[in-house]
């Protein structure tokens, strides 16, 4: 599958101030370019002590700016032109000294000049701090960070971890992929701003004995993509995840469960606290009536074991039956093996939810792409096939457009 160009058409000024995290800026530049952005690098003198302009030019494909007296712009005013030509300025790494400059409005070299001269209303400033843990915790740094946020900057990170000085703590710059994704999220329409969204994702695991169990091929990728897309759209997101090994999307609260009963027990108390519930998880319909205390051994001559099964609680139906005041707007998922539209519509009517999203499970489990069909009380519509994050963003847009002032049973797709 070709790479998704989430930053296509975006013009980004990538500013580097002094710090060992400059080595990460090289990979960040590469990630932004791969995502489709046009990247113009601007470096301070201190940054050039850690990484060369030649390296950044090779990765960005553009000559690097380092001097406020650079005469390349027609008006000979690089500090003005750079900010006006950009869709955003990203400072990564942002040292304690550079954050202090931003807070105080100082502009004694090209990068700080560019930040000060940018049109605030249309050229946002994003800052990725990187410094020693003591520097980050110092009251002066915290005051400066609060000030640049009050002035309109967006601060990305930092995170905790091992630092170049050998210490461990807060102050470590986010990883390049995290910064790339944060920039992508920054540009996404905030269709769900102020909303809360609860998502289930992945399979469940129903134990037979301490070693074995009943599960399915769900990878959780679709549910995790929906959680990320909703967070990008401005929602506060809670993700209840079955046993999968996927990274938690940025800004998403994650609750890990194993069985269908555990997922039910996690979801039901949370549902009334959320505006939207998206039931993406492939929940096992049945579980063994009894779990064997010890591993069932294979022994010669012994009969093949058999199991009595009991039905698991229906999570989506239970949420959809909540009193109106407590009931979120519900989206069900129907992963079918055949007759997709028929079974999706039956699920819509049986669960009494406003929207069911259908897909063919065997064709999508574990894959990065998918095909979705939206089924509601008025008909159905297929979303164009694509990677799961693109589809998740399209679904989030659909949900945002359909959210009623009070619960009803759907708007035409």
Q: Where are the domains of the chain?
A: 11-187, 196-402
Q: Which fold has domain 11-187?
A: Rossmann fold (3.40.50)
What pLDDT does 349 receive? 80
- Asked if 11-187 and 196-402 have one fold, the answer is yes
What pLDDT does 301 receive? 64
pLDDT < 50 regions, the chain = 1, 406-413
Neighbours of 105 (CB within 10 A): 11
**Cβ-proximal residues to 6 (8 Å cutoff; 6+ apart), any chain:** 35, 36, 184, 187
Q: Indicate the annotated binding residues.
A: 285, 295, 313-316, 333, 347, 351
Q: Tell me: cis bond preceding 158? Omega within 30 of 0 counts.
A: yes
Residues that are catalytic: 165
What pLDDT does 366 receive? 56
What pLDDT does 52 receive? 96
Tell me the CA distances in angstroms from 18 to 87, 91, 96, 134, 376, one per residue in order: 23, 11, 9, 17, 55
> Which stretches of 243-340 are assigned E, i.e. beta strand?
253-256, 276-279, 286-288, 309-311, 329-336
**Cβ-proximal residues to 146 (8 Å cutoff; 6+ apart), any chain:** none
**Cβ-proximal residues to 231 (8 Å cutoff; 6+ apart), any chain:** 185, 237, 249, 250, 251, 252
Query: For domain 196-402, which CATH number applies: 3.40.50.10300, 3.40.50.10860, 1.10.150.120, 3.40.50.620?
Result: 3.40.50.10300
Q: Phi and psi for 309 in degrees, rounded to 5?
A: -110, 145
Q: Indicate the annotated binding residues for CTP.
A: 285, 295, 313-316, 333, 347, 351
């Amino acid at each position: 599958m070709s790479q998704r160009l989430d930053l296509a058409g975006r013009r980004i000024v990538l500013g580097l101030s002094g710090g060992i995290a400059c080595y990460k800026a090289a990979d960040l530049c590469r990630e932004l370019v791969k995502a489709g952005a046009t990247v113009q690098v601007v470096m301070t003198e201190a940054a050039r002590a850690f990484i060369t302009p030649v390296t950044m030019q090779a990765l960005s494909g553009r000559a690097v700016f380092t001097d406020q007296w650079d005469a390349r712009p027609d008006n000979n005013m690089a500090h003005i032109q750079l900010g006006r030509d950009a869709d955003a300025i990203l400072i990564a790494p942002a040292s304690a000294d550079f954050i202090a400059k931003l807070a105080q409005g100082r502009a004694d070299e090209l990068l700080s000049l560019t930040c000060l001269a940018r049109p605030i209303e249309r050229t946002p400033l994003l800052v990725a701090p990187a410094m020693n843990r003591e520097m980050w915790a110092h009251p002066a740094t915290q005051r400066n960070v609060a000030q640049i946020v009050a002035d309109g900057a967006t601060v990305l990170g930092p995170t905790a971890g091992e630092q170049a000085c050998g210490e461990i703590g807060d102050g470590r710059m986010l990883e390049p992929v995290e910064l790339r994704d944060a920039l992508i999220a920054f540009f996404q329409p905030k269709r769900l701003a102020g909303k809360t969204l609860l998502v289930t994702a992945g399979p469940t695991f129903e134990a037979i004995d301490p070693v074995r169990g009943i599960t399915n091929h769900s990878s959780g990728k679709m549910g995790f993509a929906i959680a990320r897309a909703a967070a990008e759209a401005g929602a506060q997101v809670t993700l209840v995840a079955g046993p999968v090994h996927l990274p938690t999307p940025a800004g998403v609260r994650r609750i890990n469960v194993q069985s269908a009963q555990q997922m039910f027990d996690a979801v039901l108390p949370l549902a009334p606290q959320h505006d939207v519930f998206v039931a993406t998880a492939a929940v096992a319909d049945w579980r063994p009536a009894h779990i064997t205390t010890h591993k069932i051994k294979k022994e010669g001559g012994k009969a093949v074991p058999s199991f009595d099964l009991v039905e698991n609680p229906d999570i989506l139906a239970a949420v959809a039956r909540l009193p109106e005041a407590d009931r979120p707007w519900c989206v069900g998922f129907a992963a079918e093996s055949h007759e997709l539209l028929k079974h999706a519509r039956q699920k819509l009517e049986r669960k009494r939810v406003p929207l069911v999203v259908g897909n063919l499970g065997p064709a999508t489990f574990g894959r990065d792409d998918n095909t979705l069909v939206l089924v509601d009380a008025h008909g159905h519509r297929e979303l164009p096939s694509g990677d799961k994050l693109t589809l998740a963003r399209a679904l989030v847009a659909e949900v945002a457009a359909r959210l009623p002032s009070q619960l009803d049973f759907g708007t035409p797709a």
